[in-house]
């Protein structure tokens, strides 16, 4: 009998990519998406996908309970979240409401439904819960959480709840802690699509501080394959780091975006000439570095996409006219492009 998957936040960037990977790797499976369709999620992200979309909030326990009783999923992927650090600095309240309280509501609804029928719940967290990484070190899964931003703090709280529901109630929860994802369908105000759109508008490309903040960048399809691997082979109660293993500075990433654009859509001047350094944001961690050997050694997963290859696929996606127009419209509403937006 074909499996049934529930993906919370499945109309978002990573969630919609996961839905596509599930359907591609397991023909005949049934995928249900629960998404509130806030700024981070869009129906367009699921265009051409044979998944069932349920528009609703994970904080609605009655809705979630009804959905669980009706669909009886074999596996649950929990990705529904507020995810933008800059937005969390502006106002952290929605992050606590969705990421912490919403996670509690979801797991309480699961506990009240048929928890023993769910083989695995993959709780998707972030490497940001660990805070800044000292030079020469990569944090293992056993490192203590030390969040710097309201976003990271909300994800740390959600992760603590996931561990508590495993320990206290026996829910079969496994935690995935990925690094920075990039790829097609990412929210336009995130770094890479923002740089693409502003470069095509011939606007300055804002880079925080000196641009030497280091992150591990993971192509979204690799990240989704890791989540599926964790769902199928990961141990309940265990945490797995998900990373490419290659760290890059913000400036290097912006350079790669510019170079890919120059190759695919040449201009009179290199897009690198548009880079403008702006004041750093509050609490901006200098480096994140995590050790992902556990998932490789225990589950056999490792990333396969080089940054240059993933960047080319990403830029090609945003050069599609309909995609580019939607991204530009979103940025214009936020005051981040089509004017003098600086983020």
Which residues, at least 6 apart from 314, have a Cβ–Cβ distance to it below 8 Å? 182, 183, 184, 186, 192, 193, 196, 260
- Three-state SS sequence of 189-217: CCHHHHHHHHHHCCCCEEEECCCCCEEEE
Same domain, 173 and 195: no
Same domain, 127 and 238: yes
Residue 128 designated active-site = yes
Q: Could you tell me the sign of the dihedral formed by the alpha carbons of 317, 192, 92, 166, in that order?
A: positive
In this prediction, residues 78-86 reach a mean pLDDT of 93
On the question of pLDDT at 89 being above 80, the answer is yes
On the question of pLDDT at 323 being above 50, the answer is yes
pLDDT band at 40 (very low <50, low <70, confident <90, very high): confident
What local confidence, expressed as pLDDT, does residue 325 receive?
93
Please indicate, yes or no, if residue 132 is contained in any of the structural domains. Answer: yes
> What do you get for the CA distance between the two ends of the chain, in Å?
49
On the question of pLDDT at 251 being above 90, the answer is yes
Residue 204 belongs to domain spanning: 191-215+247-283+306-333
Same domain, 61 and 118: yes
What local confidence, expressed as pLDDT, does residue 283 receive?
87
Same domain, 159 and 203: no
In this prediction, residues 151-168 reach a mean pLDDT of 98
Same domain, 17 and 150: yes
Torsion of CA 146, 175, 237, 30, to 10 degrees: 160
What local confidence, expressed as pLDDT, does residue 114 receive?
79
In this prediction, residues 219-233 reach a mean pLDDT of 98
How far apart CA 87 and CA 336 sit, in angstroms, is 13
CATH code: domain of residue 119: 3.40.50.720
The catalytic residue among 57, 105, 127, 216 is 127
How far apart CA 124 and CA 159 sit, in angstroms, is 8
The catalytic residue among 5, 107, 151, 240 is 151
Please indicate, yes or no, if residue 171 is contained in any of the structural domains. Answer: yes
The catalytic residue among 82, 105, 128, 222 is 128
Same domain, 260 and 115: no
Residue 127 designated active-site = yes
Residue 151 designated active-site = yes
- What is the number of domains present in the chain? 2
CATH code: domain of residue 266: 3.90.25.10
Cβ-contact 217, 307 below 8 angstroms: yes
Q: Residue 320: how many CB atoms within 10 A of its CB? A: 12
pTM greater than 0.85 (yes/no) = yes
Same domain, 207 and 125: no
On the question of pLDDT at 341 being above 60, the answer is no
Please indicate, yes or no, if residue 58 is contained in any of the structural domains. Answer: yes
What local confidence, expressed as pLDDT, does residue 343 receive?
34
Same domain, 80 and 165: yes
What local confidence, expressed as pLDDT, does residue 83 receive?
87
Give tens-digit pLDDT for 91-126.
999 999 999 999 999 999 999 997 788 999 999 999
On the question of pLDDT at 340 being above 70, the answer is no
Same domain, 178 and 260: no
Same domain, 31 and 117: yes
On average, the pLDDT of the chain sits at 95
Please indicate, yes or no, if residue 254 is contained in any of the structural domains. Answer: yes
What local confidence, expressed as pLDDT, does residue 186 receive?
95
Please indicate, yes or no, if residue 75 is contained in any of the structural domains. Answer: yes
On the question of pLDDT at 342 being above 50, the answer is no
């Amino acid at each position: 009998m074909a499996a049934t998957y529930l993906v919370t936040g499945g109309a978002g960037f990573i969630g919609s990519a996961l839905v596509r990977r599930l359907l591609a790797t397991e023909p005949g499976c049934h995928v249900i998406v629960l998404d509130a369709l806030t700024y981070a999620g869009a129906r367009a992200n699921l265009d051409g996908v044979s998944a069932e979309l349920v528009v609703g909030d994970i904080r609605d326990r009655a809705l979630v309970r009804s959905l669980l009783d009706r669909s009886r999923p074999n596996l649950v992927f929990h990705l529904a979240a507020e995810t933008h650090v800059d937005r969390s600095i502006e106002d952290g309240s929605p992050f606590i409401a969705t990421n912490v309280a919403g996670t509690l509501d979801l797991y309480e609804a699961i506990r009240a439904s048929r928890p023993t029928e769910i083989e695995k719940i993959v709780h998707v967290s972030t490497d940001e819960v660990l805070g800044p990484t000292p030079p020469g070190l990569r944090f293992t899964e056993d490192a203590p959480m030390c969040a710097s931003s309201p976003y990271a703090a909300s994800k740390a709280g959600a992760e603590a709840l996931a561990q508590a529901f495993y320990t206290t109630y026996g829910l079969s929860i496994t935690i995935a802690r990925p690094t920075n994802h990039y790829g097609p369908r990412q929210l336009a105000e995130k770094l890479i699509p923002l740089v693409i759109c502003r470069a095509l508008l011939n606007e300055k490309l804002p880079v925080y501080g000196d641009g030497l903040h280091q992150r591990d960048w993971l192509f979204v399809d690799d990240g989704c394959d890791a989540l599926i691997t964790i769902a199928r082979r990961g141990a309940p109660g265990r945490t797995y780091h998900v990373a490419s293993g290659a760290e890059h500075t913000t400036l290097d990433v912006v350079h790669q975006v510019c170079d890919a654009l120059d190759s695919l859509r040449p201009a009179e001047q290199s897009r690198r000439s548009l880079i403008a350094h702006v004041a750093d944001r509050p609490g901006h961690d200098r480096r994140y570095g995590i050790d992902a050997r556990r998932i490789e050694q225990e589950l056999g997963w490792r990333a396969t996409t080089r940054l240059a290859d993933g960047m080319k696929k990403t830029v090609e996606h945003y050069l599609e006219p309909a995609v580019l127009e939607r991204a530009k419209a979103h940025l214009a509403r936020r005051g981040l492009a089509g004017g003098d937006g600086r983020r």
